[in-house]
Amino acid sequence: MQQKSICFIGGGNMAQAIILGLLKTGYPPHLITVCDPNADKLFYFAKQGVQTQPNNAVAAQQADVVLLAVKPQLMAEVCQHLTQSAVDFSHKLVISIAAGISLARLSALLPSATQVVRIMPNTPALVSEGMAGLYASPSLDIELKTFAENLLSAVGKTCWVEKEEHMHTVTAASGSSPAYFFLLMEAMQNAITDLGFDQETARLLIQQSALGAAKMVIENPEISLTTLRENVTSKGGTTAAALDIFAQHDLSTTVQQAIHACIQRSQEMETLF
Ligand SMILES: NC(=O)C1=CN([C@@H]2O[C@H](COP(=O)(O)OP(=O)(O)OC[C@H]3O[C@@H](n4cnc5c(N)ncnc54)[C@H](O)[C@@H]3O)[C@@H](O)[C@H]2O)C=CC1
Ligand SMILES: O=C(O)[C@@H]1CCC=N1
């Protein structure tokens, strides 16, 4: 993979997952700079061998790639400071991982930026099992498009979306969804420990079953999710008893409503920040 100097503006949960995932692939730490007002975070990253810089503009000016990893609520303030500091983005790749911040908004906030990619990653990038949706305007330089794709492919799977509006759905399907799975596993762990199992054993039973189920899905693309579920559900057996409860509480509709709420919040954020 081509190696460029990358400046992460924001060293929080998502940036950390990407950076540590990249380091595991052998990406040179000296090519990564993290900017964050939190000194403890900079100290942590320095211990990982990457460069740190409290001043966003200084780091951004020196980097080939600027990856914006601050909360959407702060994006305008952060970008305005970069612009006011006369950072010239005209020969840089700008990547934003922020939910709900459109390309048009980014271009307005960074007028000198012409090569901008939106990426919706997720935190499993930390264990090289991330899923990232990417969107860029058709005018994006192919070399930079390839770099952005390779960067996230180093820490998981990637897919490009044709329309920017699809990034809302990507956010619901993969950006936020690790939390859906954690919630289900959390509820299962609580139920199992309530039955007298210790946390560690309950977690082992649940995490391995979740991993196994995911690998069954990945390694059997020709088998539908419905069939995979039915193959566990012996007629009149234990699984059917559990699935009946899920059906009584209309889990499918609840999941659909949760995904729609995620999309609506992403759309709302696009009007707010
Ligand atoms: N957490 C996740 O699973 C995902 C997050 N994202 C997006 O990533 C972005 C960051 O989210 P998280 O990492 O979860 O948030 P976070 O709160 O963990 O990290 C944000 C970081 O930005 C830093 N920061 C605040 N002001 C700053 C400034 N002026 N300059 C530089 N850094 C500054 C904070 O100190 C913090 O470390 C958001 O836009 C979010 O939408 C996207 C996909 C998944
Ligand atoms: O919850 C959020 O807004 C961010 C974006 C996707 C996952 N976390």
**Spatial distance between the Cα atoms of 130 and 128, rounded to a whole number of angstroms:** 6
Residue 167 domain flag: no
The model carries a pTM of 0.96
Q: 236 among the known binding-site residues? A: no
Residue 172 domain flag: no
Residues 107 and 57 occupy one common structural domain: yes
Last residue of a domain, one of 161, 186, 213: 161
Residues 136 and 30 occupy one common structural domain: yes
Q: 10 among the known binding-site residues? A: yes
Average pLDDT, stretch 192-211? Answer: 98
**C-beta of 158 in contact with ligand 2 (< 6 A):** no
Which structural domain range is residue 143 located in? 6-161
Please provide the average confidence, as pLDDT, over all residues in the chain: 97
Residues 80 and 124 occupy one common structural domain: yes
Residues 24 and 82 occupy one common structural domain: yes
* Spatial contact of 66 and 7, defined as CB atoms under 8 Å apart: yes
54 alpha carbon to ligand 1 midpoint, in Å?
15
Confidence of residue 70 (pLDDT cuts 50, 70, 90): very high
Q: Which atom of ligand 1 is nearest to the CA of 99?
A: 41
Residue 261 domain flag: yes
If one counts the domains in the chain, the total is: 2
Q: Which ligand has the minimum distance to the alpha carbon of residue 97? A: 1
Confidence of residue 1 (pLDDT cuts 50, 70, 90): confident
Q: 13 among the known binding-site residues? A: yes
**Spatial distance between the Cα atoms of 79 and 66, rounded to a whole number of angstroms:** 11
Confidence of residue 61 (pLDDT cuts 50, 70, 90): very high
Q: For 57-192, where are the E strands, in sequence order? A: 65-68, 93-96, 115-120, 130-136, 156-160
Please check the confidence at residue 116 and state whether its pLDDT lies above 80. Answer: yes
**Spatial distance between the Cα atoms of 76 and 191, rounded to a whole number of angstroms:** 43
Residues 251 and 152 occupy one common structural domain: no
Structure tokens at 203: 């977690």
Last residue of a domain, one of 131, 161, 191: 161
The 10s digit of each residue's pLDDT in 202-219 is 999 999 999 999 999 999
ipTM given for this complex: 0.99
The ligand 1 site (C-beta within 6 Å) comprises: 9-15, 35-38, 41, 56, 69-72, 74, 78, 97-99, 120-123, 175
The CATH number linked to 262 is: 1.10.3730.10
Residues 150 and 217 occupy one common structural domain: no
Confidence of residue 181 (pLDDT cuts 50, 70, 90): very high
Q: 12 among the known binding-site residues? A: yes
Amino acid at 187: A
Q: Which ligand has the minimum distance to the alpha carbon of residue 121? A: 1
**Spatial distance between the Cα atoms of 224 and 220, rounded to a whole number of angstroms:** 8
pLDDT at 2: 77
* Spatial contact of 135 and 118, defined as CB atoms under 8 Å apart: yes
Residues 115 and 151 occupy one common structural domain: yes
**Spatial distance between the Cα atoms of 82 and 99, rounded to a whole number of angstroms:** 20
Residues 11 and 112 occupy one common structural domain: yes
The CATH number linked to 55 is: 3.40.50.720
Residues 104 and 206 occupy one common structural domain: no
Residues 58 and 155 occupy one common structural domain: yes
Last residue of a domain, one of 108, 137, 161: 161
Average pLDDT, stretch 22-36? Answer: 96
Residue 2's alpha-carbon distances to 59, 171, 181, 193, in angstroms, are: 20, 27, 34, 48
Name the residue with the closest Cα to ligand 2, atom 5: 99
Residues 154 and 51 occupy one common structural domain: yes
Average pLDDT, stretch 127-141? Answer: 95
**C-beta of 171 in contact with ligand 2 (< 6 A):** yes
For residue 111, the 8-state DSSP code is T
Angle between helix axes 177-194 and 199-219 (nearest 10 degrees) is 140
Residue 263 domain flag: yes
Residues 193 and 257 occupy one common structural domain: yes
**Spatial distance between the Cα atoms of 84 and 185, rounded to a whole number of angstroms:** 46
